[in-house]
Structure 1
Amino acid sequence: LFDILLALLAYLCLLVYTSLSVLAKAEGRSVQELAEKLMEEAIKDEEDMILIERVAERDVPGAETVKSEDVDWDKILSAETIKDEEHKQKYDIVYLKDVLEKDFPNLPPAARSKVKKVIDERLTTDPINLGKPLRGRSEDIEED
């Protein structure tokens, strides 16, 4: 039985490698590059699933939800803004207390610094495009 399972495993490995080789050749990449890309996508998908679970489990007493289409963006964006050291206009970001006390500390340290960088450098300067939605994957943000 062990020999049969070992043979099946070897066959599956060969199938995976053959498939990766064909895909890599079609994309003009090496097998290693393609495998790395697929692993990165799998990790991102897993992170998205974890985020969705956290959002679903989070208990914010008394919090109301608002759909993005119901937000009066003109009113929000006409609020007073600040200027950074390069004299660029930036919008003030307000956080829910639970985000800072519960959600943010649960992120891995590398993700925390990435989120802070995106908020500081991009979300404060372009809240309409980068602030909807504020959860899930945003390919534009992940490129940084």
Structure 2
Amino acid sequence: MRFVKLSQREFKQIRKLYESVMSQACYGLFYREGMILGDEMALIAQQESDEYFEVCAKLLKAKGWVEDVKFEDQLVTVTASIEALEPDTVGKPTCHRMRGILKRIYEVHRHKQLHCEEIECVAKGDKQCVFKIEEVSMD
């Protein structure tokens, strides 16, 4: 299998291109891209189900998405997300692909539909990016 590596600068330029064409509508596309990437990571991690989240963390680091990640029951803390832009550049969460990746990692493991929200982001001036995982209400 072949892989492609992108720098954080290239990621930023691609993001700006999408935003110039699609405005905020591109965030949904980034999220769906993340879900596809998360499916692949979950598939690999399932082979070692006793260490599922440890394998996912290793994959996220090895693929360059994060420098560190901590999985908890309903929270994921990410240090140095490749998607996180510098503070004060946008003032809102920017890790849309990461949200999709984490959503699928948890959904595959828990066998249920979940929602992932970025509640802290470096782009908003927070120290790290934090994601909240919740069950989807069927109301």
TM-score class normalised by the smaller sequence: under 0.3
More helix by share: 1
More strand by share: 2
What's the TM-score once normalised by structure 1's chain length? 0.26
Larger Rg: 1
